[in-house]
Homo-oligomer: A and B are copies of this chain.
Amino acid sequence: MPEPRPPFRHAFRVRYSEVDYQGLVYFAHYATYCDVAIHEFFRALPYDYTEVRRTAGTDFHVVRALVEYRRPLRFDEAFEVEIRLGRIGRSSLTFRPALFALGEAEPRATAEMVSVHADQTSMRAVPLPERLLELLAPYRP
């Protein structure tokens, strides 16, 4: 059994272009932050989905994205998105990202993002690659 690893984290700083009238991050950008962090998580594994798309013709599609907002992130705040794994299905993968302002233990927001692994021509769901399952094993809850 693989040795468990601590959850992956990726660092951000709120951009001026991302805040609204109230100086708070516009709500839809939280999902973008989670997506960026998931891309970085794949890079860290390392799992090259771009290569897989080119060679196997399969890729991930988001089918469900949920964000729950607790306390807002503000302009210029430094924060991290932590990536935790949720359910790993036959062809689906659930991430449970959480956004933490620097040095805080309580997340500002939590998310759930479900992606399905699909053939890019038929758009049919296909099983998650074995190689990916091995790489994810140390991060399983």
Measuring CB to CB, which residues of chain A are less than 8 angstroms from any residue of chain B? 15-17, 19-23, 26-29, 31-32, 35-36, 39, 50, 59, 61-69, 72, 75-76
Contact = CB atoms under 8 A, between A and B. Distances in A.
A28 to B, nearest CB: 4
Task: State how many copies of this chain the complex holds.
Answer: 4
27 contacts: A15-B35, A16-B39, A17-B26, A17-B32, A17-B35, A17-B36, A19-B21, A21-B21, A21-B75, A28-B28, A28-B29, A28-B31, A28-B32, A28-B65, A31-B65, A50-B75, A50-B76, A61-B72, A63-B68, A63-B69, A64-B67, A64-B69, A65-B66, A65-B67, A65-B69, A66-B66, A66-B67
Given A15-B36, A19-B20, A27 B65 contact: yes
